[in-house]
Amino acid sequence: MGNRGMEELIPLVNQLQDAFSSIGQNANLDLPQIAVVGGQSAGKSSVLENFVGKDFLPRGSGIVTRRPLVLQLINCPTEYAEFLHCKGKKFTDFDEVRQEIEAETDRVTGHNKGISPVPINLRVYSPNVLNLTLVDLPGMTKVPVGDQPADIEHQIKDMLMQFVTKDNCLLLAVSPANSDLANSDALKIAKEVDPQGLRTIGVITKLDLMDEGTDARDILENKLLPLRRGYIGVVNRSQKDIDGKKDISAALQAERKFFLSHSAYRHMADRMGTAYLQKVLNQKFSFLFLNQQVTNDSVSWWLKILQFNILFHLFPDLCTSYV
């Protein structure tokens, strides 16, 4: 299948994913996607916002991502966003996108920091993105906050497992450079579900926040806790940058300058940064289609299953008579 065929197929698969979500069958669907995993404050949200080039994700303390966010990025000449649960409405103000994510999260989980495995499906159309489907999952935590249940850690892990155990799911394991990589929540999950490292790509954030005189060169050169697919370093905006509304395009230029000028990283600057990460993910995402033989025929097969599922939900007695 050529690149043109791939570009035509990905939107069809996105539609199929949305359709299964609308009847509550998303967890049973094994289509190519990229799960973004990491501990709280690892920098997952900033990585995703850098991909889109917009501030659109909720921020705050504790568990901010409380439902899976299925984020479909679609390269398109115009820029806007759409939610599956807001059919026909186009969002051009990304502050409103954030507000809608918060409102839709609270609608299902309440205001007490509870979580839910029911995903929010968001499409972002933009000339600045590459075609990708990412799933932003709640950051792993061990301590309940507010009215959260005592087993919140197990609830989050169970939710993650619904996504990361699937063969068609790439794992984007996000870990901060200023913490001990051996204790990385993301890498622990990755080792558990992908022991051969075939589906895991490591992302190292907060390189600019490391103690003076230290660096992550051994990690990024894949010498420390090596991964088969290696690590890619990124530099996100600081909290001060975010509070000061620093433009993401300016932040990406600063990221590029950081890698080119840092003595520990300049020799690998062409393999670091958000732009390179997005390119690698787009290539791996497309490869999933080829490797798993996701074709127009298989999409048609899934659509037939979907049609039966919809009929079964509407007319269970009628469908049972055909089984």
Summarised one tens digit per residue, pLDDT across range 258-312 is 999 999 999 999 999 999 999 999 888 877 766 655 444 555 545 554 554 544 4
Instruction: Check residue 124 and give its pLDDT.
Output: 96
Beta carbons of 119 and 68 less than 8 angstroms apart: yes
How far is it, in rounded angstroms, from Cα 171 to Cα 42? 15
pLDDT the model gives residue 312: 46
d(Cα 28, Cα 20) in Å, to the nearest integer?
A: 9
Domain coordinates of the chain in residue numbers? Answer: 32-293
In one-letter notation, the amino acid at residue 319 is C
**The CATH number of the domain covering residues in 32-293:** 3.40.50.300
Closest by Cα among 204, 276, 211, 206 to 236: 206
User: Cα angle vertex 135, ends 95, 132, to 5°?
Assistant: 85
Which residues of the chain have a pLDDT value below 70? 1-30, 61-63, 145-147, 289-323
Helix (H, G, I), strand (E, B) or coil at 195: coil
Q: Which two tokens stand for residue 76?
A: 């398109």
Q: Where do the DSSP E strands lie in 20-64?
A: 33-37
Identify the pLDDT of residue 38: 93
Residues 74-114: tens digit of each pLDDT: 999 999 999 999 988 999 999 999 999 999 999 988 877 77
User: If you ran DSSP here, which 8-state letter would residue 169 be given?
Assistant: E
d(CA 310, CA 312) in angstroms, rounded, equals 5
